[in-house]
Structure 1
Amino acid sequence: MEEEHPNVALLSRLDLRDLAGAADLFSEDFVWHYFNPALPDVHGDYLGVEGLRTFFGKIADMSDGTFRIAPVSAMPMGDELVVVHVRNTMVSQGQSTALDAVVVWRVVDGRFAEAWDIPAINTMAVTAGADGLQ
């Protein structure tokens, strides 16, 4: 049986619903980069755990709390990076949206130092109505 990579194990300890409780997993100068020109109110960089909370708060507000993340896979890349494939779903302005995203986490000294959230905005599935998620 293969041992879990320490950075993947660190990621498995992260509960995005309780960022205050996960603060010790992040470096003090952590940066979350979100690339999505289709969402200019959310697109940009967020500093620290509080910045990450702000990011997810904005997403929760625009989706009336329907935003969900379903992890698909996590792959360590050397000793510093973990690439995570997720499937995000939400309802916003009467439209259900489902899209794949990749989050690249950079881990330094056993803590998250930086992350890049890159949604596949050109291939997302959008349907009318709250029950149209695939």
Structure 2
Amino acid sequence: MSRSIETGARRKTGGFAALQSMADQPNLDEALKEALESRGVLNRLKAKVRAEIYKLVDHPSRGPHTKLLSNQKLIMNELIREYLLFNDCGDTASVFIPEAGQPEVPFDRAFLASRLGIQEDAITRQNPLLHALVSKACRVGWDADNV
């Protein structure tokens, strides 16, 4: 079979022929792992699996993880969630949120800023609220460099 006909046959089978030819390679596992890592898929899958395992182990019969948290803990956890998402740590957040017992829907940023006494402006909106709290603490005498 000519090369162009073979290529056309691979396309028509939805890539199955190409997948079969990959299976003949001795390092298929490593090649697939590298491809998934380079696309950013592997870490998301690992985080999702960890989150699902945590849900099953912690509360196998109750379904979604639910904890009774104080308002203070809810707000602290929400600041951590916002920080993680701001810094593109969505995989970590996907494990943290159910483990911490946070609701799936995030709190409104304006609500959090108001509760924490943070005046939102152009500068504070460019950073997570946790950054504003640390900056505020440093201005009133807390030296973050010497903790």
Q: TM-score range by the shorter chain?
A: under 0.3
Q: With structure 2 as the length reference, what TM-score do the two structures score?
A: 0.23
TM-score normalized by the length of structure 1 = 0.25
Structure with the higher strand share, 1 or 2:
1
Structure whose alpha-carbon radius of gyration is higher:
2
Structure richer in helix, relative to its length:
2
